[in-house]
Amino acid sequence: MNNHTFRVGPLVNLASLVDSLGFDPEPIFIESGLDQKDFRDPDHRMPYLSSSRLLANCVEATGCDHIGLLLGIRAEPSHLGVVGFLVRAAPTVEVALQALVENLDLHEDSASVRLNIGPEYSSLNYNVHEPGILAIEQIGDLSAVMMYKILATLCCKDWAASTVKLIRREPEDWGPYRRFFRSALFFNSTECTITFNNHCLGQKPPTADQLLYKYLRKEARQLHDLHHNELMEELPAAMMQGLLTEKFSARHIADTFGMRERTLHRRLRVAGTSFRQELDAARKLVSEQLLGGTSLPVCDVASALGYADASGFIRAFQRWAGTSPSTWRKKNGLHSQNGARSGMSG
C-alpha cells in the first residue's frame, strides 16, 4: 500500500478558496475522508493520494477546473517550508534552482523538479511519479505557478518566461492562465515546463542572504540526515520482511517508507551504500535463519530469497560466509545443535 505524503503547504488556502467560490468546503473535506483542521498547518504532512482526491472533489463540487491555478496564485514560495526559504536566500538564481531540485523531497517525495541548462535557454521541469493520482491537472497547474513565482521572485522585476507547458487539457477559458503567466502557453504536455532565457542564471536575487542561506543549507542537511538515519535503522527489517513476502524490489521497499524509488537510491548513496548491498546483507541474514532454523532444502531457501536457481544462491552464500550453505548448516544448523545436545546428555 502506498503511503507517500507531502507537506500541506499551499493547500492551507484550499478551504478559503472554495468558500470564495461560493461553496461550503466542509462537506467536500468530509467526503474526501479528510479533516479540514489538518489543512491549517502548512507543515502538517498529508497522504498524497487522498489529498489529490480532495482536489478532484473540489473541482467537481465547484465546477471550477482551474482550482490549482488559483491555489498557486494565493501561495508564496515560503509555503514550501525550508525549501522555499532556502531558494529565496541563495546567492544566485542558478544556485537557488539547484537547491530546489536537491531539496524538494523535504516538501514532497512523490514528484521531482529538474533544471536543464541549454546554450541559450533553460527549463525548470516538474513531474509527478505517483501512480493513481487524481486531479493531475490541478497539481500540475499549482506546481507550474509555484515554479513561475519562484523564478519571478529570484529574477528581475520585469521577468517573464519564454514558454509555459502544462499537464492539462486546453481549458475553455484561457483568460486566467494568460493573465498570470504572460508567456506563450502550451497545453497537453507530459510535464510542467517553464522555459526561460539563461541571462538570469548568474544574477543575484534581491532576496539573497549569504548567512541565512548557509544556515538553511545546514537545516536542510540535518533534515535529510534525520531521514537517512531513520531509513538505515529500519531498512534491514523492511528488507527481510520484503524477502519473506516476495516484495523486495526497490519499488516495494521505497513504498514501505513512503518515498519514490529514486529518493531511496539517493538516500542510500548518501549513506555510503546501495540497494544491492543492503539486499545482499538482508539475504545473508535470512539465509542464515532458514539454514540454521529449518530443514528446508537449499533449493527452497534459494527460491525464498528470490534467486532463479540454487547455483546463484550457493555462489552468493560462499561469498558471504566463505563456505557452502550445506557445510555452514552442518556447523550451525539445528542438526548440529541437536547432536551437540545429545552428546552432552549422553
> The whole model's pTM is what?
0.70
Query: By mean pLDDT, which of 12-21, 248-257, 315-324 is the weakest?
Result: 248-257
Chain CA centroid to CA 73, Å:
24
- The DSSP symbol for 44 reads -
Under the banding of pLDDT at 50, 70 and 90, the label for residue 336 is very low
Query: 232-257 b/e with 16+ CB inside 10 Å = b?
Result: eeebeebbbbbbeeeebebebbbbbb
Single-letter amino acid code for the residue at 55: L
Q: Check residues 271 and 73 and name the one with the higher pLDDT.
A: 73
pLDDT at 334: 56
Nearest CA to 176 among 208, 201, 204, 144? 144
Under the banding of pLDDT at 50, 70 and 90, the label for residue 342 is very low
Written as one string, the DSSP assignment of 200-259 is GTTPPPTT--HHHHHHHHHHHHHHHHHHHHHHHHHHHHHHHHHHHTT--SHHHHHHHTTS
CA dist 8 → 41, 80, 94, 318, 323 (Å): 7, 9, 27, 50, 53
- Helix (H, G, I), strand (E, B), or coil: what is residue 172? coil
Chain CA centroid to CA 145, Å:
20
Q: What percent of the chain has pLDDT over 70?
A: 93
Dist CA 110 CA 4 (whole Å): 7
Q: 144 is written with which cell numbers?
A: 507550474
Nearest CA to 154 among 111, 102, 209, 117? 209
Under the banding of pLDDT at 50, 70 and 90, the label for residue 229 is low
Give per-residue pLDDT as tens, 286-298: 888 888 878 888 9
- Helix (H, G, I), strand (E, B), or coil: what is residue 197? strand
